[in-house]
Amino acid sequence: MERKRSSQSSTTTSDHAPLLASDGDNTVNIGIGLDTQDPEVKVGPSTSPDAGETSFSFRRLSREKKWTLVTMAFANFVACTCFSLLAPFFPAEAAKKGASQTVIGLIFSCFELWIFVSAPIYGNFLTRIGSRFMFISGLFVCGGCAILFGVLDKCPSGVTFMVMCFLVRTVEALGASAFITASFAIIANEFPAQVSTVFGALETFSGLGLMVGPPIGGALFELGGFGLPFWVMGGILMTCACLTALLMPSRPDSHRPNRGSMFLMLTSPLVLVTTVTIVSGSYSLGFLDPTLAGHLSQFNLRTVYVGLVFIIPATLYALTAPLWGYLSDSKGVSYPFIIIGNTVSVAAFLLIGPSPLLPFLKHELWLVILSLAIMGLSVGSALVCTLKCLFNGAKMVGFEDNLDTYGMVSGFFNSAFSFGTFIGPTVGSAIQDYKGFDWAATVTAAVFAVAAISFASYVILAKSCKACHPAQPAGTSAAKDDASQGLLRQASQVTYNSISSTPVISNSSSIAHDNT
């Protein structure tokens, strides 16, 4: 299925035409565009040389795109390694400086909090700042902050140490938010027909970085003390930024007047239900970090084996992410992947406890390992497809195919993901303290159930909408009346009255689907 921009809103002939077009100069009615299938649409300019292909082949890429992909993959790997290397040793070192367990947890979680706050801002100003500059400068900031973090053990104990930790982590988070937001926008702009495939490939390198970060950090700490892990990885990250500046092709970022906003994007039902999936997936990943080790303590495992158990879901997620992305782009199965992934995740988190709702199951190590393996596969299949769904949902409410849209959607994705990883450890730990790990995992399963039900409801409603309102010849009054009546019956219809200002979306921004 291919999405095309219609030259005139009155000449749309597709079954998937917007339910209502503009009927005046001062009123713009936006059809939410509930779709019945996974829309195989291009999320990039039609001028892209790869725009007509949905299958991904590294060999067929141009030299510039190869360098872009290689530099972004390497940068994601090094950056994620740098972000995760402090986990094995920092809590104990911070405790020596007088930080409580609560403060230590806040030092970790403030990183995600600031990404949640700043990512939409970066996305909104992406073309004004420049995607390439934002990507490279974000890497520089992260590398510099990592090096600075390595000297914080020289700070006086107490409030001074804690304040400096918060400051450095905050600035590092702002740099991370910048380069991650820019990277997703560059993906959509450079690989318009293979967004999920390339996103899945980059997730593999990010996952590998998060996996090797803790052991590298622990080894360097044993070798040279508190500062060495940060100095080494910070230096590598800044070197990576320099190489990226040399190797990543420079492309002009043409800026157009912003014709939409984050609030307009949220009027799309597809964006809303996709956001629930993003938050639920990142919530589950954050939930396991502070809680799983305590749950495994009942099995009297050595520390090295506990670490291996932690690696299981991350490894499967990283290795299978490109596969989910490829299938999503080539087969058009994003919707089924999201629904099935959320549903299977419900089962995984009911088993990992196991849940008190399943009293016939006993606490077994093999059951925990099996649950983590299933979770790594299911969460990956759901999350990898979400970025493309956000782009499609934004276009359904009139956003254009340009870098401004990609930046806004990328910032929204990062913000939603970071929100989940921020509340996951916080809420999960609180529930564990109050009711135990079993109930905390059950609540996580309930979060996935909400995501699965909401997305399935969207698909069912879309099919019902199509069945009740078949397409009629465009341009006829009957078609307009039928579309108007159908849309009035939809709670998702949004009408904007523009009396003294230019409408947010014009007639020429109507989008139609053609079955191929």
What are the structure tokens assigned to 138, written together?
């974000």
Question: Alpha-carbon distance 282 to 296, whole Å?
Answer: 21
Taking the C-alpha atoms of residue 201 and residue 224, their distance in angstroms, rounded to an integer, is 34
pLDDT of residue 57: 66
Instruction: State the Cα–Cα distance between residues 343 and 449, nearest whole angstrom.
Output: 6
Q: Under a CB-based contact definition with an 8 Å cutoff, are residues 132 and 185 in contact?
A: no
Q: Which helix (H) or strand (E) holds 5?
A: strand 2-5
pLDDT of residue 507: 34
Contact 161, 99 (CB under 8 A): yes
Amino acid at 375: M
Percentage of the chain exceeding pLDDT 70:
77
User: All domains of the chain, ordered by start, with CATH?
Assistant: 1-43+274-389+420-492 (1.20.1250), 56-255 (1.20.1250.20)
Number of Cβ atoms within 10 Å of the Cβ of 245: 17
How many other CB atoms sit within 10 Å of the CB of residue 443? 17
104: nearest Cα among 162, 174, 167: 162
* pLDDT(244) > 60: yes
Query: Is the distance from CB of 81 to CB of 209 less than 8 angstroms?
Result: yes
Global confidence as pTM: 0.72
Other residues' Cβ atoms within 10 Å of the Cβ of residue 430: 11
Distance separating alpha carbons of residues 416 and 481, to the nearest angstrom: 38
- pLDDT (tens digit, 9 = 90+) per residue, 41-76? 444 443 344 444 455 566 777 777 888 888 888 888
Average pLDDT, rounded, for the chain: 77
Residue of higher predicted confidence among 113 and 257: 113
Say whether pLDDT at 491 is over 60. Answer: no
For the segment 346-367, what is each residue's pLDDT rounded down to a tens digit?
999 999 989 999 989 998 999 9
Tokens 């005046």, residue? Answer: 24
Which pLDDT tens digit goes with each residue over 2-19? 333 333 333 333 333 333
Q: Which residues contact 36 (CB under 8 A, 6 or more apart)?
A: 16, 459, 462, 463, 465, 466
Q: What is the pLDDT of residue 164?
A: 94
pLDDT of residue 254: 58
Q: Are strands 27-30 and 494-497 parallel, antiparallel or unpaired?
A: antiparallel
CA 305 – CA 475 distance, rounded (Å): 67
pLDDT in tens, 145-204: 999 999 999 999 999 999 999 999 999 999 999 988 888 888 877 777 777 778 778 878
Beta bridge partners of 29: 495
Of 29-33, 358-362, 382-386, 453-457, minimum mean pLDDT range: 29-33
Tell me the residue type at 221: F
Q: Residues 257-267: what's their mean pLDDT?
A: 72
Q: What angle do CA 305, 359, 423 make, to 5 degrees?
A: 60
State the alpha helices, DSSP H only, in 353-402: 365-383, 386-396
Q: Which residues share a beta bridge with 494?
A: 30
506 vs 89: CA distance, rounded Å: 56
Angle at 170 between CA 120 and CA 81, to 5 degrees: 90
Amino acid identity at 171 = V
Mean pLDDT confidence for 332-357? 93
Q: Are 238 and 108 in contact (CB under 8 A)?
A: no
Buried-state track 211-221, b at ≥16 Cβ within 10 A, e below 16: bbbbbbbbebb
pLDDT at 293 over 90: no
Cα(320)–Cα(300) distance, rounded to whole angstroms? 31
Measure the CA–CA gap between 1 and 377, rounded to whole angstroms. 27
Give residue 500's pLDDT.
34
Q: Which of 144, 142, 209, 146 is nearest to 182 (CA)?
A: 142
